[in-house]
Amino acid sequence: MSSESNNSRPRDVFLDCAKGLAILLVIMGHNIQAGVTDFDANLAFRLIYSFHMPFFFFISGMVTAPWFIKFTLSGSTLDFQRGVLQDVFAKARRLVLPYFVWALVAYIFLGYSRDGTFVDRLTVLVKRPDEGLWFLIALFEITIFLYLVGLLVRFSTTVAHRCGFAGGGTQLAMMIGCGILGYLALKMVPLEAAGLAKVHFPNFYAGLIFAHLTKGRMPASVPLVAALIFMALAPAWHRLGPPDFLIGVPLSAHFTRAFGIIVALSGSLAMLGIARFATNNLPRLPLSALTLIGRHSLDIYALHFYFLVVWPPVLGPLVSSLLVSTALRVSRWTALIFFGEKLSAKTWIERSQPGRAPRATAL
């Protein structure tokens, strides 16, 4: 889903395609979940759920990589602090505000009002973000923690340079080492609300490192090998337990976690290969449709739950979500409230009329 730190740069069609594919997988998974009684036994559901949210975090790490590299491996500490301060406010607007606004929408339209007041509902959501649009809060928590990792990278890289170790290899080693240390530190944070951030920080940081390593030039062999690994392992993955071959194995919980990471990472890299193929080979019309879906992945994520009963599956919820998204983005204020857009951002109507001057906003 969209990253604020990337808004000042030209959009990356490849990453928009990747986000479009990711949100389509989310809708497919939720359609199966809503329509199949024993969905955990459904192979398609298991294949999608084994990597679709890790894939979103991986993409988010890729989107964040240019910002992270710019402010941690170059520039002054003051620039880093200013960049962090600006990004905190941007991420709060882009992620935290929609999380609570859509919590209110769900409270009104999905029947949560029967369980108590909205304050009671907020208390539940603060303690257990997975009761709402948990991706938004988990991504916010991860990016906040990433600033601390960035400080550690800056410090360790500076020390290494003073000791005579310089070059890209040193920087990469410091990034990987500090990321591992940061993950271990995050796991020690005694906050239940940070549980999903702890789970998905490795996926996010792996995407960041991957983007730094490839710099937009992913070798063709990477997604191919990843796809082979995914096809071999993913059918054995289970959402609520270990794969069959690990049942009864000592330390099976640790092996299950490692197995899940391998499946998620291989699935993510395979999907990046599909996104790259789509970017390079799709005709203009379907490519534009896929990138449109990717650009509005946050909107679709928030809205599609309300349209899972719309036929046909996947397409019905997708089109319905895009229509409502378009309506909510007519006004800058509703775009801000529901999707965290900057008030200075043009509405879709203004973007469709490039010669028209922006309307003045009331003070």
DSSP 3-state of 91 = helix
Residue 99 covered by a domain: yes
pLDDT digits (tens, 9 = 90+) for 253-269: 778 888 999 999 999 99
Instruction: Look at residue 138 in the predicted model and tell me its pLDDT.
Output: 94
Residue 332 covered by a domain: no
Task: Transcribe 294-321 into DSSP letters.
Answer: HHTHHHHHHHGGGGTTSSSTTHHHHHHH
Buried b (16+ CB within 10 A) or exposed e, 25-64: bbbbbbbbeeeeeebeebeebbbbbbbbbbbbbbbbbbbb
Instruction: Tell me the mean pLDDT in the region 27-40.
Output: 93
Averaged pLDDT score across all residues of the chain: 87
Residue 327 covered by a domain: no
Query: What radius of gyration do the chain's Cα atoms show?
Result: 21
Give the lowest-confidence range in 108-112, 158-162, 201-205, 321-325: 158-162
Residue 207: pLDDT over 90: yes
What confidence tier does 351 reach under pLDDT thresholds 50, 70, 90? low
Who's near 298: CB < 8 A, 6+ residues apart? 1, 2, 98, 136, 339, 340
Domain count across the chain? 1
Count how many residues are written for the chain.
Answer: 363
Instruction: Tell me the mean pLDDT in the region 107-136.
Output: 88
Name the residue with higher pLDDT: 363 or 191.
191
Residue 130 covered by a domain: yes
Structural domain harbouring 114: 4-311
Exposed (0-12), middle (13-18) or buried (19+): which is 270, by Cβ within 10 Å? buried
Residue 326 covered by a domain: no
User: How far is it, in rounded angstroms, from Cα 135 to Cα 94?
Assistant: 12
Instruction: Look at residue 346 in the predicted model and tell me its pLDDT.
Output: 65
Token look-up 């049942």 returns: 247
Residue 80 covered by a domain: yes
User: How far is it, in rounded angstroms, from Cα 233 to Cα 243?
Assistant: 9
Residue 64 covered by a domain: yes
Instruction: Tell me the mean pLDDT in the region 52-72.
Output: 91
Residue 360 covered by a domain: no
